[in-house]
A and B are shown apart, each in its own frame.
Chain A
Amino acid sequence: MAGMARAQRIWRITCGIAAAALVLAHTLALVGGAINRLAAGPEQNVIDKMAGGFLGATGTLQRWNMFSPDVGDECHVPFLLVTFRDGSKRILSSPATPPMAGGDPLLLARGMIREEQRRMEWTGHFADARRRKLDTRISDPVSGTWEQGTTYARWLLNKHLGAHPQDAERIAFVDLYIAVVRHYGEGELPRRGDLYYISVYPQFDPLWPPGIRTSLGHQPLPPRGKLPTPQ
Chain B
Amino acid sequence: MSMTATIRDLWLKPVRAERMAAFRIAVAAIVLGDTLISLLPDAADWFGPEAVFNASQYAAWMLDDRLIRWSLLPINASLELVFAILGLLAVSAVLVAIGLFTRPASIVMWALLLSIHNRNPHILNAGDTLLRCATFYLMFMPAGAAWSIDNLIRARRGRPVNGWVAPWPLRFAQFQIVLVYFATGVEKLRGFKLAHVMQGGSPGDWLEGSAVYKALTFSTMGRFPWLFEGLPWWVFAPLTWVTVGFELLFAVLVLKRRTRWPALSVGFCLHLGIFATMEVGHFSFSTLSFYFLLVPAAVLMDIAGRAAGEGGRRTLQVYFDGMCPICKRSKQWLERLDWLGRLAFVDIHDRARALADLPDVSYSDMLSRMHVKRPDGLHFAGFHAFRAMAPVLPLAWPLVPLLWLPGAAAIGARVYDFIARNRFRFAKCENEFCAMHLKLLAGRELDENVIARVIELHEKYQAAGKSNRAPETPAGS
Contacts and interface: CB of A to CB of B under 8 A. Distances in A.
B114 A53 contact: no
Given A129-B280, A130-B46, A183-B219, A205 B129 contact: no
A130 B211 contact: no
B309 to A, nearest CB: 19
B168 A20 contact: yes
A122 interface: yes
Interface stretch (B48-56, B146-154, B425-433): B48-56
A169 interface: no
Contacts of B231: 186
B281 A130 contact: yes
B279 A181 contact: no
B38 interface: yes
Contact of A151 (B57, B67, B184): B57
A204 B56 CA distance: 9
Interface stretch (A71-79, A102-110, A211-219): A71-79
Interface in B205-232: 205-206, 210-211, 214-215, 217-226, 228-232
A72 B118 CA distance: 28
A31 B220 CA distance: 32
Nearest to A119: B226
A184 interface: yes
A61 B225 CA distance: 31
B125 A57 contact: no
Interface size range on A against B: 35 or more
Interface residues of B, number: 78
B180 interface: yes
Contact of B225 (A138, A183, A186, A224): A183
Contacts, number: 205
B183 A34 contact: yes
B45 interface: yes
Contacts of A154: 54
Contacts of B339: none
Interface in B262-288: 279-281
Given A64-B184, A68-B187, A134-B122, A189 B229 contact: yes
B204 to A, nearest CB: 6
Interface in B34-90: 37-38, 42, 45-46, 50-54, 56-57, 60, 66-70
A131 B124 CA distance: 10
B334 interface: no
Contacts of A188: 229-230
Given A66-B126, A148-B57, A72 B214 contact: yes
Contacts of A231: none
Contacts of B458: none
A49 interface: yes
Nearest to A144: B122
Interface of A: 16, 19-20, 22-24, 26-27, 30-31, 34, 38, 44, 49, 52-54, 56-73, 75-77, 96, 119, 122-138, 147-148, 151-152, 154-155, 158, 181, 183-184, 186-190, 204-207, 224
29 contacts: A16-B166, A20-B140, A23-B137, A23-B172, A54-B68, A59-B110, A60-B132, A61-B67, A62-B183, A64-B180, A66-B126, A71-B211, A76-B220, A119-B226, A123-B224, A123-B226, A127-B279, A129-B280, A130-B38, A131-B42, A132-B220, A134-B52, A138-B122, A155-B52, A158-B50, A184-B217, A184-B225, A187-B230, A190-B217
